Structure 1
Amino acid sequence: MPTWQNELDDWAFAVDRLKFDDAINNLKIFMRNDAQCGVIVSEYVPQLTAQLNEAGLAPEKLLTVFDLIQGVTDPRARQILDLADFNWPRGTWFEYDPFRVVAYHDDQKLAQVIFNARGQILRIERFEHDKHFQDLVMDSRGWLSCLQNYDKQEQLVERVFLDPAGSWRVKERITDGRVFVNPWFAKDFSAAAYQDRQALIDEFLPRLIKQNLDAQQDEVIFTAADQQRARLSFFNGFKTAAVISRWHAFEKFLPRLNDFTGQLVTDSAAVDARVHELLGNERETLLLPIFSAQFHLGHSQEQLEQTILLVVNDLTPAELRAVLSRLLARIDQARFNENLKLVGYDDDRLSRAEELIKELAQDHYPLIMINPTPEQLKPNEDLQDADLTPDMEDLQTAQPIPIYTKRIAQPKDLLTILDSTRVLVDLSMAPDDFIQMAAVSVGVPQINRTVSELVTHQQNGLQTKQISQLDQALDYYLGSMKHWNEALVSSVAMINRYSDEMIMNAWQNLW
C-alpha cells in the first residue's frame, strides 16, 4: 500500500531531484520471484496506469478507492484519447510547441493541452478572456476523470470527480475541504456530504478491503509516510508491516504506530535509529536496505575512454569553478584517456556550468567543445591546403575535446549515462541520495566530500576533505584498474548482501 498521489508531471517539468519509490522496488522484487502481489491505492491518482507502465509493473490486483467512489465498473477498460476526440468549436486551430499544444479560436487562447512523458494527455487547461478557469484532468485509461474549476483570480475553488460516462459523482470544495455527493448516486454513499476527502476515503477503503482481501491469506505492507491516507486499524486481523524509509517524510506518521501490532521495516541505519528514538528501543525493527531494482552493473570497463561524471546539482558557484578548473586541466592533458560529462536536474544550473567551461577554456583550452555533434568532431578539411601557421597546424592535427552535459529528468536518463561512467564525482556537502544509490547499484566508484552509509572510504569510493584533493582521488581510480576493480567488488558485495533472494527470504520470514 504505497502513498502515490495526484497526477504525473508534465513531461517538460524539470525535477529538482529523483526520488526512489520503495513500494515500486519491492513490487519488482516480488514479481521477479513469482510472488502474487497487488497494489491498494487510497488516494486519487488519475495517471496510475501510466505510472505503473512507466515503472514496468503489472500487478495481479490493482485496487483503488477512487474507482469505487467514481463508479468505475471495469477498471481494466482502456481507450486512447486524442485531440480530435474533444468537441472543439468550429474554426479552432492548434499551435504545436515541443512541450504542449495550444488551441486558439477567434484569436483568443482557448486551451493548452499538457502531456505526460508517454505522449498521453494529462489535462487540458481551459481559458476564457485570457483567464484560466478550468482543467480537464484525464485518467490514463482514456476518460475524463475530474474537472478543476478556478475563480476569477485563477485560484482553484472546486474539484468535480466524474464517472467514465461523464456524470459527476462527488464535488470537493477547496476552501474548507467538504465533499458533496450527487443526489442521483446517493444510494452508493452513506451520507450526502462529508467533512473532507479523508472521511470519504475512510468510508470506501473498508469496502474495498472487504470485497477483495482475505485476512487468512493476504499480507499487507504499508509505506509509512506522512501522506499515507489509510487507517491502519482497517487491517486488523491481517498480517501487516510498515516500511519506514528515508525516501519519505515519516515523523508525523510515527505516532500512528504506537498501537500498531504489525512488523516495522527500516531501510537505513539512520532511519532505524530515529525510529527507536521516537518509538522506544523496545520496538523491534528489521533493517532491510534496498538498492534500486532497475539498475544493473555497468560496462565502462569494456571501453578505452574513461568517463568522469560530475554532478553539478548542489555545488556553489565558487565550488563549481574550483572543480571545473581542475577537471579541464586534467582532460586537456589526456593523461589516462579521460573525458568529462556533467549531469544535473536543472537546465539553468547546467547552462551556468557550460558558460563557466567556455570562460575557462577560452584562453587555455581551445580544443574543448561543449555538446558537439559528430559532424563538429570531424577534422576541418578546408584547412588542408591553407597557408597554416605552426599554431594552426597543431590545432588541425589535435583532436577536439568534447564535454557533454545532460539534464536528468527520469531514472532511465541516469541509467544510460552511468552505464559508461568510470568514476562519479559529487563534491557537494549533501550528495544526492538517488544518484549515490544508483552508482553503487551500477558498480561505479564515487568521490565525495562527506561520509554516507552507501560509500565506504577506499572500498567503493573515496571521501576527500578538500576540492584540491580531487586530482589525487581521480588518479586512485583512473591511474590503473586495480583500485577500480576493488571498488567494483566492494559494490557487488554490498548489493549481494541485499539480493532479491535475501530480501524475499527476509519478507517471507517476517511473520
Structure 2
Amino acid sequence: MFYFVPSWYKQDRKWYSTALPFYLQPKNMMFDDAVNLLRMFQQSGEANSVLILNYSPHIRTFFYQQRLSSDEIWNLFDSIQGLTDVPARKIRLDDLKWPQGAEIFYTPFIVDVYVDHLPHAQINFSQIGNIFDITYFENNQIDYQLVFDDRGFVSSIIYFEHNQPYYQDYLNAQGIWQFREFLTADNQQVIISPEAQGTFAKDVYQNIEELVKEKLEQHLASVLTKDDSIIVSADVQHNHFFQQIKKDHLVVLSFFGNRYPITNTEQLFSDLKDTPFFVVDSLDKIVKIAEQVGEVEEEQLPAYYEIPPYDTQLNLGHSQRKKELIIYVNFDTLPEHHLQYVFTSLFDMMLQHEWIDLLVGTQSQDFGREASIRQFLEESLSSTKYAEKLLLVDKDKAAKSGDPRLEDDDSLRERIDTVVIHSDTDLAKALKYVRVILDLGSPADIRTQIAGISGGIPQVNLYNSSYVKHGENGWIMNDISNLREALLYYLTDLEHWNQSLVHSVKRIELYTRGEIVEMWKNTIKELKLNEQN
C-alpha cells in the first residue's frame, strides 16, 4: 500500500480548511505533485490511501474538481469527529428555518436574511452549489457561524466575540461537540468534550497541532505494515511527524515548486535523514541544493529521482480554430533587463503580422498588479509607431460586448490583453486559444509549463527545464536575440505546432500508461532487497 500525505494547507491558519465560497479564488494553484502522483497511482490500480491532516469538510469536492477518486481517504478530523461513515444528503434553502417576518434577499453571490430590517444571517455557497456556511448576526455583530460539510450537515460552529473568532466547536454526526479549539492570539488550546474523552490521550492540548500529531501516530500504528510506503509532499508543517516512523517504514519526500525552503540546508538534511531516496519536480532543485551545501555535503544526500508532475488529463488547446495567433507572455518571470527588448520585439512582429495578438498574464495576487502591467504596456505603446496600430483591450468594453478580438471588421482591432491567473482553471482557460507560450524565467514557471504541455502548446524559453525539450515541445533559445525566430517558428508554420502537440501527448501518455508507477515500485523493491542483503 502507498500512503500519500499532500500539502494542501492554509497559510494563515495552518490546520484549517483551504476551501472557499464559489465566488472567491484560492491564492495558490492547487495542481501539485500530490495530485499528479495520486492520478498516476489511481489510474494504475495500485492500492493507495490519502492522509488528510487538516480540517477539510470539503475534501470530496476538491477531489471531484481534481478528477481524483475519494474512495480511499483517511480524513484525520473526520476520524476524531466520528464522521467517517456519514451518508451524503442535500440541504436546500427551503430546509432552513427563519424567524417569522424574515426577509430573504438573493444576490449573485450570497443570500442575505434580514429580520426587522437588521441583518440576521448570510449564506455562502460552495463551488458545486451546496451551502458552504451560514453566518448569524446579533445586534449588527457576528454571533456565530455554521460550517457545513459537503455531505450536507453542520461540521463545526465558530463562535465570535466583538466580531472576532473566539472558539470553534467540532461536532459529531449528532451535532454534539467533540472538541473545542480556541482561536485568540493568546489562547490556542484544544479542550476535549467530557463525553468524548475516552478516545483522547489528554483532556487539554496546547494547540491543534499536538492533537493532530497524536491522532496521526495512532492511525499509522494501526494500519501500516512492513511493506507499506509513505509518500510525503515535503513541507516543514508536517515533515517532523514522520521522522520516527522512518526507522521501520519507507518514507519518501517529494519536493515541488517553492513549497519547501531548500536553501535552509540544516532543515533539509534533518528532513532527509533516514530517507532512502527523494523526488524532485525539476533538476534545478538539485543544482540549487548543490550551490548551497557544496560537493562534499551533496554526496551525503540520499539518491534522488526527477518526476516532473504533468496534468495527465489532456486539455488540448483550440488555437488552430482561430484566425488570431495568440502569444501568451508570463510577465511574472520576465527579467527586468529584458522587458523593453521583449515587448519592442513583440510589437514589431505584431505590426508585420496583423493576426498576431498578445495576452500578458500574471499569477500575482498583489493589489494593483494588473493595473501596473497595463500601465507598462501603455507606456511602451506610446510612441507613434505603435500607438496608431496596436491597442490594449478596453476591459470595460470587453465586459459589455464580449471578446473584442472577434471584431474582425474593426480596422483598429484591440490586440493586446492582460489576465490575472487565480487558479488552475483560470490558467487553462487563459491558454485555451493560445498558439505559443513565452516564458523567459530562470526557471520558467512550472505551473505554466504543466498547463502548456496538457494543452499541447509549444513553449519558448530562455533556460533548460525538465518540461520543455528543444525541438520537441518547444524552443530553448541560446540568446534573447533568437526571440523573433523562435516565436515565428510556431506562429507561421502549423506543422511545427502539430509536432509540438504530438510530443506533449507522448509525454503525458508516459504517465497514464503506468510506467512511472512501475519505476516507483521497482525502486522500492530494490531498496528493500538491499536492506535484506
Give 1:149's aligned residue. 159
Partner of residue 84 from structure 1, selected from 86, 94, 113: 94
Does the alignment pair 1:135 with 2:153?
no
Give 2:491's aligned residue. 478
- Evaluate the alpha carbon distance shift between residue 270 and residue 74 of structure 1 in structure 2; reply closer, same or farther with a 3 A threshold: same
Give 1:390's aligned residue. none
1:23-42 map, 5 Å: 23-42=34-53
Give 2:135's aligned residue. 125
- Evaluate the alpha carbon distance shift between residue 505 and residue 259 of structure 1 in structure 2; reply closer, same or farther with a 3 A threshold: same
Work out whether residues 36 and 60 of structure 1, in 8 Å CA contact, stay in contact via their aligned partners in 2: no
Give 1:93's aligned residue. 103
| Aligned-partner residue type, residue 279 of structure 2 | V
Compute the displacement of 1:148 (Å): 2.2
Give 1:65's aligned residue. 76
- Evaluate the alpha carbon distance shift between residue 426 and residue 255 of structure 1 in structure 2; reply closer, same or farther with a 3 A threshold: closer
Please, which moves more after superposition, 38-47 or 294-303? 294-303
Does the alignment pair 1:264 with 2:278?
yes
1:288-437 map, 5 Å: 288-301=307-320, 304-313=323-332, 327=346, 330-331=349-350, 333-335=352-354, 337-345=355-363, 349-350=369-370, 364-365=388-389, 370=394, 371=398, 373=401, 398=411, 400=413, 406-426=419-439, 431-437=444-450
Give 2:528's aligned residue. none
| Aligned-partner residue type, residue 198 of structure 1 | E
Compute the displacement of 1:299 (Å): 4.6
Work out whether residues 361 and 421 of structure 2, in 8 Å CA contact, stay in contact via their aligned partners in 1: yes
Partner of residue 163 from structure 1, selected from 169, 172, 180: 172
Please, which moves more after superposition, 274-283 or 189-198? 274-283
Please, which moves more after superposition, 63-72 or 85-94? 85-94
Distance of 1:244 and 1:469 partners within structure 2:
33
* Aligned alpha-carbon RMSD (Å): 3.9
Distance of 2:343 and 2:146 partners within structure 1:
46
Give 2:299's aligned residue. 281
Work out whether residues 464 and 476 of structure 2, in 8 Å CA contact, stay in contact via their aligned partners in 1: no
Work out whether residues 143 and 161 of structure 2, in 8 Å CA contact, stay in contact via their aligned partners in 1: yes
Partner of residue 21 from structure 2, selected from 1, 5, 10: 10
Give 5+ residue unaligned stretches, structure 1. 380-394
Distance of 1:323 and 1:45 partners within structure 2:
44
Deviation readout 1:359-398 (Å, 9 max, x if unpaired) = 959961488865374798899xxxxxxxxxxxxxxx9785
| Aligned-partner residue type, residue 508 of structure 1 | K
Distance of 1:377 and 1:191 partners within structure 2:
64
TM-score with structure 1 setting the length:
0.80
Deviation readout 1:457-496 (Å, 9 max, x if unpaired) = 6661344866x97555433332334654565566567656
Does the alignment pair 1:509 with 2:522?
yes
Distance of 2:106 and 2:48 partners within structure 1:
42
| Aligned-partner residue type, residue 156 of structure 1 | P
Compute the displacement of 1:455 (Å): 4.1
Work out whether residues 121 and 136 of structure 2, in 8 Å CA contact, stay in contact via their aligned partners in 1: yes
Work out whether residues 313 and 349 of structure 1, in 8 Å CA contact, stay in contact via their aligned partners in 2: no
Work out whether residues 312 and 350 of structure 1, in 8 Å CA contact, stay in contact via their aligned partners in 2: no
Compute the displacement of 1:182 (Å): 0.8
Deviation readout 1:174-204 (Å, 9 max, x if unpaired) = 3332211111222222221112222212322
Work out whether residues 289 and 498 of structure 1, in 8 Å CA contact, stay in contact via their aligned partners in 2: no
Does the alignment pair 1:195 with 2:206?
yes
Deviation readout 1:115-148 (Å, 9 max, x if unpaired) = 3322223322333333334332222222211222
Give 1:440's aligned residue. 453
Deviation readout 1:284-317 (Å, 9 max, x if unpaired) = 2222222222344445346554222234456799
| Aligned-partner residue type, residue 108 of structure 1 | L
TM-score with structure 2 setting the length:
0.77
Q: How many positions carry a matched residue from both structures? A: 491
Distance of 1:316 and 1:286 partners within structure 2:
30
Work out whether residues 312 and 511 of structure 2, in 8 Å CA contact, stay in contact via their aligned partners in 1: no
Secondary structure in 2 matching 1:215: coil
| Aligned-partner residue type, residue 139 of structure 2 | H
Compute the displacement of 1:227 (Å): 1.9
Compute the displacement of 1:435 (Å): 1.0
